[in-house]
Each structure stands twice: as structure tokens, then as C-alpha cells.
Amino acid sequence: MSCNPTDPLQRQVASLVVVRASGSMHDSQRRYPQWELNNAQLQDLLQRGVGGVILLGGSAVELQQRTRQLRRWSEQPLLLCADVEEGVGQRFEGGSWLVPPLALARLHARDPQRSLALAQRYGQCTGEQAKRCGLNWVLGPVCDVNNNPDNPVINVRAWGEEPETVAALASAFQRGLSSSGVLGCAKHFPGHGDTTSDSHLDLPVLPHNRARLDQLELRPFKALIEAGVDSVMTAHLLLPQLDPQRPATLSRKVLTDLLRRDLEFNGLVVTDALVMEAITRHTGAAEAAVLAFEAGADLILMPADAAAAISGISQALSEGRIPLQRLQTALQRRRETLERCATADDSSPNIVDQAHQALEQELVQASLQLHPSSGIPAAKGINLIRIDSVWPCPALGGKAPALHHPQILGYQPVLIHPQGLSPWRLDPEAPLALELLGDGPVLLQLFLRGNPFRGERDRREPWRAAVRQLQDQHRLAGLVIYGSPYVWDQLKSELDPAIPAAYSPGQMPEAQQQVLQALLQGKITSNDTADFTD
């Protein structure tokens, strides 16, 4: 069946598809054109009845204009969403970029009451800013239990390492989000925490039986369902104890039997992005959409080919492979969910208010850890910074404190990234090729947090041996870890007590600012810190 924009059935099916677009207005500004539709394609699909858009990139003010434009292009109410798990500023410049959720899990162990209050404010801040940008759906909270430190993709995105902590903090976040009138989404069902591979790149396997799932993975989802979360996102992983044939996203046993029947979830079920390789390596665009819808998903997120997905589901309905009642139920859930949304509050250019700024600063302060020592000395040295990529790298704009403040003391930046300098030698005891970096003391700043599409690459980097090497040669002036607490715990154990060091789970400029102010101990002035954002 070809895609027919005038066919009533296909228009109904199209309303259950969510496509991806840039938050910027112009095609030339797209950061990821391989996934983001151009404006002509986007307008055409919205006029054909596509019912949702997931947005990424651009500024928060641009996003206000963009969401207005998308609503004008559509004849129906739209679901407009973004992956803003760490606040709107994580994806859209000018919004509040908050510390990752795992930061509050560590605080929860020391001060549960304060962490729960902060998690609720976190959700409220995210929802208020999303609404001011024209979004009505936040794809969070993450409900995965990060009980596996080797997880390459969840890591600091999780609200904890134990199910009780995740359930409590994610529920608090959802309460704050709901108070703003914005929809939430518990993800990635039935739990992506105990995996060692990234579903963006491959199909992870979760070998546990139902009893273990009930004990650990499912508990946060049960808590969010009881709290009335609006939607649940599926995970692209195989659970052979439940369904040895199909990943959770495409499995009726997982989505209908487990999520709908056993956990009694009646809201929207949305797939994780079907363009991810865990799906596309094994299933074509049309068939993946059909299988997901047949399994019990109501919304099809980022199919590899939107027109093929619409045609495939429409044909399966026309031929009786999928009952028409399945379509009507999904459409009703979508209507009822949209009715719970607050109207967009995008009339003001002020996305961030004073309460949001105070929250961002408090979250960084509450999660900062310092290794007791004297401050970093002024010297003609090297500021060695490890990042995932040069562009886009929101954490390291031209005025980023991680670049600017050490330079005041004499440390010149050297960036390590996949497209540039590789500092490694084959010697496992002394892996850094220091002759490539230059002379003088080294301030080592590592931006490591577990990111999608990185796979095993981060874990293979021998930073533990590199720290020993720098210390043995008396060249380590200081160490800062931004991101993964597991990297910090590992490297901290190697440090000489005299070495200044610090950890922040956040990577944003505010985190850099507080870390370096602490480590530089008065060696930077108020003029140096007046304006450190782009």
C-alpha cells in the first residue's frame, strides 16, 4: 500500500507517528541531518496528519518560534517533545541545564528529604521551561536502575543504583513535572540499567527472569504507574526469559501481557526511536512499525521511514492482521492524554527565572566532591581536556570555565577528542604520549559520563594508568572529573593526597565554574567569572 495523504485510515495512523526535527528554524542549522527532516519534508508529513515531533538543537528562544511554526503547519493538536532529562538547557541553549539525575541518588543516601525536594523542583523547573518553549511532553524520567557500573548508555541518566531510590526520586520528579501541566514519560521499559551494550548500536540482552524483574527493574515503573505517569517508553533489548524472539519494543509478551495486563498501565506506550540500530539491523522500517503497533505500542517514535511506517501499519489494519479496535484504542489514548496538557506558555522570552537559576546552582553545589589538598598552582603548563567531540560540544563553548580559568594561571588547553589528538601509546604502564602534549605540569580534566553511540570506547581509555604515569613523573597539577561517579571513584583511589582534585556529575558551565573556583582558591577574580556562557 502506497502512502495516500487523503486516505482517512492513513491519516489516523499518521497521527500516531512522531518524527524528528531540529529546534532551529532553518534547514542549514540542523545538527544531525541524517535524522532530522528538512522543513519541506516536515511540513508535508504534518499536513498528511503526522501527530508528533521530537525536537533537538537550537536555542530555547528559537524553540518557541519553532513550536509555533509546527502548530501552524498541522491541522490537529500535536505532541511536541524533547529528551530533556537534565533540563531544557541540556538540549536548547539558554534553558537551565541541571546536573544529571544520578547526582541526586548520591545525595539521597546522605539526605533523603533534601534530595526528594530537589528532585521535585527539578521536575517543576523542567516542565515550566518546556511549556514556555512550546513543548507539552518531556521524555523523562528515566526509570532504569543503573545497578551495572559498566552500562555505557544509562549511567548518570538514571535516578539511582537501587530500585527504591529510583522509584522515590523519579516519582518526585514526575510530581514536579505534573504540577507544570507537561506530560511525562517513564523509560526505558522494562529496564535498561543492567546492560553492557548500547541499543543505539546493538541489541542488548537482559537475561533475567520475571522474579528478578519484579525485584529490581520493574519497581520504579510500578511506582510511576501508580503515580499516574502519562506515558511509558519501550526499551530495545531482548529478554529471552519473556520473549526469546523479539526485543521488548516489538514484543506483545512485554508490552501487552506485562505492561498492560500485569502492571495495569492504561496510558500511552511509545517506542524508543525505531531508527536505532538495535531495530534497524534486524527489521525494516515498515515491518518494525507494524510489529511495535501489533505488540501494543500506541506511538511510533522516529521510524527509519515515516511514510513506510504509515503505509505498513495501514496495510496491516486493512488486511486484518491488526484489528481496527487496536487503532481506535490508541487514538483514544492519544486524545485523552492531550486533553491533560496545559496550553503552551510561550508568550514570554524569559525561559529561565531566578528560581531556576538558584536550583541549577544548588544542585551543582550539593553534588560537588573535593579531594582535600592545596589549590592548583599557577604554572606554565598544559590543560589537558578529554571530550567526546569538538562539535557540537555544549559544555565547552568559547567562554567555558574549563578552558578559560586555567589559562589565567598559565595552563594552555589541549583537547583530546575522537576526531583529533590521540594521546595514547601501547605501553600499559605509561600510556600517555607526553611528548605530543608539551612540557610542564598537567591539569587533567575528563568529561566522561557514558554517552549514546560511544559503545566500549570510553571504557578502553586507560586513564587510571595515565594518572599513575603523570604522578610518577611529578607532572599532575590537578584532576577534575565531570560526569561519571564510577570514573571518579576509580581515579580518586590512585591520587596522592597532595594532588588537588574534584568531581562534579554535571558537565555544564555552572559545574565547571564551581569546581574551578574551589580548586583555584582565589586565583580567579569576579571579573574572570562575570560571563562564562555563550
Q: What SS3 class is residue 11?
A: helix
Q: Within a 10 A sphere around the Cβ of 472, how many other Cβ atoms?
A: 11
Q: Among positive and negative, which fits the CA dihedral 274, 278, 279, 280?
A: positive
Show Cβ contacts of residue 494 under 8 Å, excluding neighbours closer than 6 positions.
464, 467, 468, 471
Does residue 233 contact residue 185 with C-beta atoms inside 8 Å? yes
The β-bridge partners of 52 are 18, 79
Can 200 be counted among the known catalytic residues?
yes
The β-bridge partners of 416 are 386, 421
Of the residues 194, 198, 272, 298, only one is catalytic, namely 272
Sheet containing 52-56: order of strands: 137-138, 79-82, 52-56, 17-22, 300-301
Q: Among positive and negative, which fits the CA dihedral 149, 198, 296, 19?
A: positive
Of the residues 188, 200, 208, 405, only one is catalytic, namely 200
Q: Within a 10 A sphere around the Cβ of 490, how many other Cβ atoms?
A: 15
Q: What are phi and psi of 354, to 5 degrees?
A: -65, -35
For residue 404, what is the enclosing H or E element? helix 401-408
C-alpha cell at 87: 533540563
Q: What SS3 class is residue 129?
A: helix
Burial class (CB in 10 A: 0-12, 13-18, 19+), 444: buried
Nearest to 116 by CA among 369, 355, 366: 366
C-alpha cell at 90: 541540556
List active site positions.
200, 272
